[in-house]
């Protein structure tokens, strides 16, 4: 019997993200075995966004922090950089040091 699910090949580096606070690669939690630890995950695709990213993150975090103060609400922000040539990841990692809830993924391609 044929499976109804696509057979998707995952590369080893897709299981990890770069923690901007430690500059180390850390494993993503498993959707299958780990309990949910966040109420909301904001995923931001970024390609050559070094100039736009800091202001957008400021506005995003301001909104999410206001919501978090109103109720028990947890969130994380993941920026996915798909091979930017303008130092988007470096800019993001610098800005993210001021925010407690940020993660980064950079494509190695």
Residue-level pLDDT at 109: 46
Q: 60 by DSSP, 3-state: which? A: helix
Asked if 80 and 45 count as a contact pair (C-beta separation under 8 A), the reply is yes
pTM of the full structure: 0.66
Secondary structure, 3-state, 9-44 = CCCHHHHEEEECCCCEEEECCCCCCCCCCCCEEEEE
Per-residue pLDDT tens digits of the chain, which is 109 residues long: 677 878 888 788 888 888 877 888 888 888 788 888 888 889 889 899 989 988 998 899 899 989 988 888 888 888 888 888 898 888 888 877 777 666 666 654 4
């Amino acid at each position: 019997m044929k499976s109804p699910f696509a057979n998707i090949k995952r590369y080893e580096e897709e299981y990890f993200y770069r923690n901007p606070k430690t500059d180390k690669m850390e494993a993503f939690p498993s959707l299958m075995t780990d309990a949910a630890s966040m109420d909301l995950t904001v995923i931001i695709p970024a390609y050559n966004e070094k100039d736009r990213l800091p202001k957008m993150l400021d506005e995003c975090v301001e909104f999410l922090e206001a919501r978090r103060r109103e109720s028990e609400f947890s969130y994380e922000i993941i920026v996915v950089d798909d091979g930017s040539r303008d130092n988007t990841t470096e800019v993001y990692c610098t800005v993210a040091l001021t925010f407690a809830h940020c993660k980064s993924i950079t494509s190695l391609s």
